[in-house]
A = this chain, B = another copy of it.
Amino acid sequence: MKTPHIARVGAGVLLSAALAVGAADAQDRVKMNLASSYPSTLGVVGENIQRLIENITVLSNGNFQIRFFEPSALVPALEVFDSVSLGAVDMSYTTTGFHVGKFPGLVFFSSVPFGPSVSEYLGWIHFGGGKQIYDREYNKLGVQGFQCGVVVAESSGWFREEVVSLDQLKGLKMRFFGLGARVMERFGVSTQLLAGGDIYPALELGAIDAAEFSFPTLDRKLGFYQISKHNYFPGWHQQASFVELIINLDKFHALPKSYQKMLEVACGEANMWMMAKGDATQGPAIAFHKSEGVEIHKWTDEQIAAFRQAWEEVAEEAAADNLLFSEVYGSYKAFRETYAEWRDLGYLK
């Protein structure tokens, strides 16, 4: 199969390309602790961080070791940001959405109601100005962050009764995440943010009436189908959500450049892996839910339109209230407007 063209090139040029000429620079041994907001057993999300840690181990020949701690083993699951900022723990696997109370503008780096596809989202973050703001704000707080995995579209939640009219939402106590919670509040829902493991007991005890958490494979893991029999789609509140790896900024700067790059590249790859795995694996979980007597519902076009309008009001008010929210929302909207023409032109409907 050798082509005549190969023969034209001097064999020396080609064969000098061969392997290994001895061994070079030694690698630093580094150990770090990671306090996770998500349990290692949590399907795709938990697998993603285990896989990332293993990749870093292999990339560094075992010299850069990250020790995983389950949620609340070192610090409470929703309080990891402060601990990393202080340096009390080295790093965490979490989401900007868990710090929304403190940094309302930064929730755009986790998930946005009626938000973009993964591709458009990454386009804005990496090439539309998003990451400059994210880095600037996190660095101010002593933290370096990386988008480090994507939760693809979610379900809109689990309800005990069929939601025929949005009026039924009034007075419900519901676990809800991020900016979507503020949308639900417009319909009279009383929302709470609970970490994954705390949702089932709260539902079981009746402390909450309904809950949204993630997509079917993860919701199945948490067992919501045992208590609530009405599962709603699409997840207008989280069409795509990033999880992140955050590391204390001083400790990040103290790392060798090669290890800094391992975090960056392995997190970038984790986005790709988790997007693919999330999207590929929902079918069997939906089928399982059906087999357990769950009814799968889709919001009507009118209901979706009502949620969308409420979201736009929430966003405008939040932008008027908070300078950072306004800056990030402005950058995000400007990018999405330019993108809309390309999406319409480039993609089959």
State the A residues within 8 Å of B (CB). 1-3, 5-6, 9, 13-14, 16-33, 55, 58-63, 67, 72, 74-76, 79, 82-83, 85-86, 88-90, 114, 117-120, 122-128, 152-155, 215, 233-236, 239, 251, 254-258, 261-262, 265-266, 268-269, 271-273, 275-277, 279-283, 286, 296, 298, 304, 335, 338-339, 341-342, 345-348
Contact = CB atoms under 8 A, between A and B. Distances in A.
A269 B265 contact: yes
A14 B85 contact: no
B348 A279 contact: no
B3 A275 contact: no
B59 A276 contact: no
Closest 10 CB pairs of A and B: A123-B280, A268-B269, A122-B276, A153-B346, A17-B33, A127-B280, A23-B26, A269-B269, A282-B342, A58-B261
29 contacts: A2-B82, A2-B86, A3-B83, A6-B83, A9-B75, A17-B33, A19-B255, A21-B31, A23-B29, A24-B27, A24-B61, A25-B61, A25-B62, A26-B26, A58-B261, A59-B258, A120-B279, A122-B275, A123-B279, A125-B276, A126-B280, A234-B348, A239-B348, A271-B272, A279-B342, A282-B346, A283-B338, A283-B339, A286-B345
Nearest to A23: B26
B286 A234 contact: no
B61 A27 contact: yes
Given A17-B32, A58-B257, A275 B119 contact: yes
Nearest to A282: B342
Q: Assembly of this chain: how many copies? A: 2
Contacts of A235: 346
A106 to B, nearest CB: 16
A66 B97 CA distance: 40
A334 to B, nearest CB: 11
Contacts of A61: 24-25, 27, 256-258
Given A20-B29, A271-B272, A275-B119, A341 B236 contact: no
B83 A280 contact: no
A235 to B, nearest CB: 7
